[in-house]
Amino acid sequence: MWVGARDEESARALHRAIDLGIDFVDTALAYGDGHSERLVGRGILSRKCGVRVATKVPPLNQEWPARRGVPVEDVFPANHIVACAERSLRNLGFSSIDLLQLHVWQDDWTDRGDWRDAVERLKREGKIRLFGISINDHEPENALRIVATGIVDTVQVIYNIFDQSPEDRLFPECLKRGVGVIARVPLDEGGLTGRVTPEATFPRGDFRNEYFAGDRKREVFERVTKIAADLDVPLERMPQIALRFVLSHPAVSTVIPGMRCVANVEANVAVGDGRGLPAEAVAKLRAHRWARNFYS
Ligand SMILES: NC(=O)c1ccc[n+]([C@@H]2O[C@H](COP(=O)([O-])OP(=O)(O)OC[C@H]3O[C@@H](n4cnc5c(N)ncnc54)[C@H](OP(=O)(O)O)[C@@H]3O)[C@@H](O)[C@H]2O)c1
């Protein structure tokens, strides 16, 4: 849940998205301490639709992202996973969660701890249908071991025109194992939409003040302007281009742009036909890969 998100506007955006045919929503227990799950659950139940919902178990130690060297017992003990899933079920108002994800991950946890017992128990009891992990920001290879085990049904990973690194090793492994890929932050927190100009401002307390701090707004805007010029499209088309780029990769199962208002919903659902970009455009976008971490 972002600072500044208003419940009425969020509900209107969700209803519009459902009416326009979206079939998947990603939320988390940590988003507003259950508030986002309650809004999503109410919105979906009121529309009596079959939209699938993914939510996430927060780390017990409340550390985002997961640090190397921290034992999994301090982060995802089985009893914590079960208790959080039950809280999420109550918040959503559902009898079963379509997809439960661990909100952070370190790959050396794969063979440690008792988190698998919780996953097996929740599946056996019908409280969750599928299980996945959300990979730390810009660390796609920090999930290769767990993907190889076949335990996860899905991974959620940052993938966009700037961060194309999941294509190197994660996506081939997911394709090989039949693991679903949920592409998050497809618009680089708004950077790839062309709306983050050097003059753009964000509300007080909004994390984008840090994400786009210092000279970053100018740097991002210059890069996005070059991308639009390279593809010979107006800057206004960049949100759709960015989403279609993500949908162009065969490993990607779904894309989850953050959208808090009806106008963004309508613009983004327009790419819901799932079509990717022409191969020639994807080839040009390879040159715009940009390795950096604005979260740290
Ligand atoms: N660790 C994790 O598991 C994790 C971390 C981050 C995100 N996520 C998930 O990924 C989702 C997407 O990430 P995100 O929202 O952080 O990043 P994002 O999708 O890359 O960017 C969202 C930003 O793009 C803007 N936007 C959306 N559609 C637009 C359009 N058509 N035209 C212009 N601007 C547009 C939004 O504007 P407004 O501000 O006006 O709405 C918002 O500022 C989240 O909702 C969440 O479900 C998961």
Query: How many angstroms is it from 187 CA to the middle of ligand 1?
Result: 7
Query: How many angstroms is it from 5 CA to the middle of ligand 1?
Result: 12
pLDDT in single tens digits along all 296 residues of the chain: 444 568 999 999 999 999 999 999 999 999 999 999 999 999 999 888 889 999 999 999 999 999 999 999 999 999 999 999 999 999 999 999 999 999 999 999 999 999 999 999 999 999 999 999 999 999 999 999 999 999 999 999 999 999 999 999 999 999 999 999 999 999 999 999 999 999 999 999 999 999 999 999 999 999 999 999 999 999 999 999 999 999 999 999 999 999 999 999 999 999 989 899 999 999 999 999 999 999 98
CA distance 77 to 72: 7
* Nearest alpha carbon to residue 129 among 100, 92, 102, 156: 100
Atom in ligand 1 nearest the alpha carbon of residue 188? 20
* Nearest alpha carbon to residue 233 among 186, 189, 285: 285
Nearest CA to ligand 1 atom 27: 259
Which domains, from first to last, does the chain contain?
A: 7-288 (3.20.20.100)
Query: How many angstroms is it from 211 CA to the middle of ligand 1?
Result: 13
Per-residue pLDDT tens over the stretch 176-187 = 999 999 999 999
CA distances from 55 to 1, 59, 291, 294 (A): 13, 13, 28, 24
The token pair that represents 15 in the structure block: 């209803």
Residue-by-residue DSSP string for 34-78: THHHHHHHHHHHHHT---EEEEEEPPTT--SSPPTT--GGGT--H
Atom in ligand 1 nearest the alpha carbon of residue 258? 15
Q: Measured from the CB, is residue 257 less than 6 Å from ligand 1?
A: yes
Q: Measured from the CB, is residue 237 less than 6 Å from ligand 1?
A: no
Query: How many angstroms is it from 170 CA to the middle of ligand 1?
Result: 22
Q: Which of 2, 193, 217 to mutate to test the pocket of ligand 1 (most atoms within 8 A of CB)?
A: 193
CA distances from 293 to 66, 139, 212, 219, 277 (A): 15, 10, 11, 14, 26
Per-residue pLDDT tens over the stretch 228-241 = 999 999 999 999 99
Give the pairing of strands 154-158 and 128-134.
Answer: parallel
Query: How many angstroms is it from 121 CA to the middle of ligand 1?
Result: 33
Q: Measured from the CB, is residue 208 less than 6 Å from ligand 1?
A: no
Identify the residue whose tokens are 């294509």.
167
Q: What is the pTM of this model?
A: 0.97
Q: Which helix (H) or strand (E) holds 157?
A: strand 154-158
Identify the residue whose tokens are 């914590």.
80
Q: Measured from the CB, is residue 165 less than 6 Å from ligand 1?
A: no
Nearest CA to ligand 1 atom 28: 264
Query: How many angstroms is it from 260 CA to the middle of ligand 1?
Result: 8
CA distance 43 to 46: 5
Query: How many angstroms is it from 69 CA to the middle of ligand 1?
Result: 30
Instruction: Spell out the residues 6+ positions from residue 282 whose beta carbon is closer than 8 angstroms to its own.
Output: 245, 248, 276
